[in-house]
Amino acid sequence: MRSLAQRSALAAKEIKDLIGRSVGQVQAGAEVVGRAGNTIDALVADVRRVSTLMQSIAEASAEQSRGVQQVNKTVVEMDRVVQQNAGVVQQSVATAETMRLEADALVRAVSAFRLPADADALLEDLPGVVGEPRALSAQQRDMAGVIPALEAVDHVREARRALR
């Protein structure tokens, strides 16, 4: 009986040790599970933050896309205006060349007129009597016809200078 009691005591002690080790392992496992739960909670929070960031990126991308579309529309409009302006410039160049040719022709036509040596004195006397053509001398009446031609020549010369 003694040996049975000793074996029973020894078995009880082994069972107690096994239970103690099992309790320790269960506690360690519970700690691991607790840490795993904390890690999972942190992962869920990180996934939510990433989801929020992805949504913000998607919204920013959509806004950027709208901005690029607006810039594209503006560039297309600017190109249209540039093309239109190029056409206007070509027309202006052609018109300027036509005016230059006409000015040259007017200069040639007016160059046939010759003024007498005392033209300056006649021109000074002329403004006071322009309203009374019958009171003019023959020479002054001749000069009265030349004055508009001279003014035209001056305008033509000014136009030629502006075109150069």
**pTM score:** 0.42
- Exposed / middle / buried, residue 5 (Cβ in 10 Å: 0-12, 13-18, 19+): exposed
Q: What's the pLDDT tens digit per position in 110-142?
A: 777 666 666 555 555 554 444 444 455 555 555
Q: What is residue 139's predicted lDDT score, i.e. its pLDDT?
A: 57
Contact call for residues 151 and 106 (beta carbons, < 8 A): no
Q: What is residue 105's predicted lDDT score, i.e. its pLDDT?
A: 85
pLDDT tier, 65 (very low <50, low <70, confident <90, very high otherwise)? very high
